[in-house]
Chain A
Amino acid sequence: GAVVSQHPSWVICKSGTSVKIECRSLDFQATTMFWYRQFPKQSLMLMATSNEGSKATYEQGVEKDKFLINHASLTLSTLTVTSAHPEDSSFYICSGDRGQDSPLHFGNGTRLTVT
């Protein structure tokens, strides 16, 4: 199956700082990548769809200026949480889209804790 690598797997940062999370598709080219967020005991919530070479599409209620997405190549998308606050503490998971209704394969996720 498709391999997606996500880095870092966990990060602790201070309130007000920014954190960058990388998502790489290792064995396929991903024109589209998805970023999800999962709070404890809740399901995955789609935050944004990252499109290579163009602006990301954000879901309703997700602040695009706070969650900066860059998809500069077919194998790399990054999510930067800017001016992080404790309420941003969550499990962030990315996935690459292989298209043609293929299922999503996820990276291992990044657990962000903002103190």
Chain B
Amino acid sequence: QKEVEQNSGPLSVPEGAIASLNCTYSDRGSQSFFWYRQYSGKSPELIMSIYSNGDKEDGRFTAQLNKASQYVSLLIRDSQPSDSATYLCAVNRKTSYDKVIFGPGTSLSVIP
């Protein structure tokens, strides 16, 4: 089992719709969870970080965390064509030191 898994996509949604991105992780001791957006040829940029169970909202983005199910999700409301990118789920798998592991990414395409 991979440490961090995401729905492979590509995911296509019409403009204005809600995009739902999912992520599961294997290390139950993980404490910190992040969503990054990466445009083609660019470095990842942080969208959200979440540390506690429940929902965290920031503008059009909502991250959801369920540690019991080892599940993290990202909802994008009112999707825009500019949201088209690859979304990376990342987990800080604390061992003797911080170690951030990335999922394979989900490609999102928002259709005008």
> What residues make up the interface of A, taking CB atoms closer than 8 Å to B?
1, 32, 34, 36, 42-46, 49, 57, 91, 93, 95, 97, 99, 101, 103-109, 111
> What residues make up the interface of B, taking CB atoms closer than 8 Å to A?
31-32, 34, 41-46, 49, 51, 88, 90, 92, 97-105
**Interface majority SS on A: helix, strand, loop or mixed?**
strand
Are B46 and A101 closer than 8 Å at their CB atoms?
no
Contact A104:B90 (CB < 8 A) given known A43-B103, A43-B104, A43-B105: yes
Are B98 and A44 closer than 8 Å at their CB atoms?
no
Complex CA distance for A109 and B41, rounded to whole angstroms? 9
Partner of B100, one of A1, A104, A107, A108: A104
17 contacts between A and B (CB under 8 A): A1-B46, A32-B97, A36-B102, A42-B104, A43-B104, A43-B105, A44-B44, A46-B102, A49-B99, A57-B97, A103-B32, A103-B46, A104-B34, A104-B46, A104-B90, A104-B100, A109-B42
Give the shortest distance, in Å, between B98 (CB) and chain A (any CB): 6
Contacts across chains A and B counted by CB atoms under 8 Å: 52
Partner of B92, one of A42, A57, A101: A101
Chain A residues positioned under 8 Å from B99 (CB to CB): 46, 49
Chain B residues positioned under 8 Å from A46 (CB to CB): 99-102
Are B43 and A108 closer than 8 Å at their CB atoms?
yes
Are B88 and A43 closer than 8 Å at their CB atoms?
yes
Complex CA distance for A109 and B46, rounded to whole angstroms? 15
Chain B residues positioned under 8 Å from A97 (CB to CB): 98
Give the shortest distance, in Å, between A45 (CB) and chain B (any CB): 8
14 extra interface residue pairs, beta carbon distance < 8 Å, beyond A1-B46, A101-B32, A103-B90:
A32-B97, A32-B98, A42-B104, A43-B102, A44-B44, A44-B88, A44-B102, A45-B102, A57-B97, A93-B43, A97-B98, A101-B92, A104-B34, A109-B43
Are A107 and B49 closer than 8 Å at their CB atoms?
no
Complex CA distance for A42 and B2, rounded to whole angstroms? 14
Chain A residues positioned under 8 Å from B46 (CB to CB): 1, 103-105
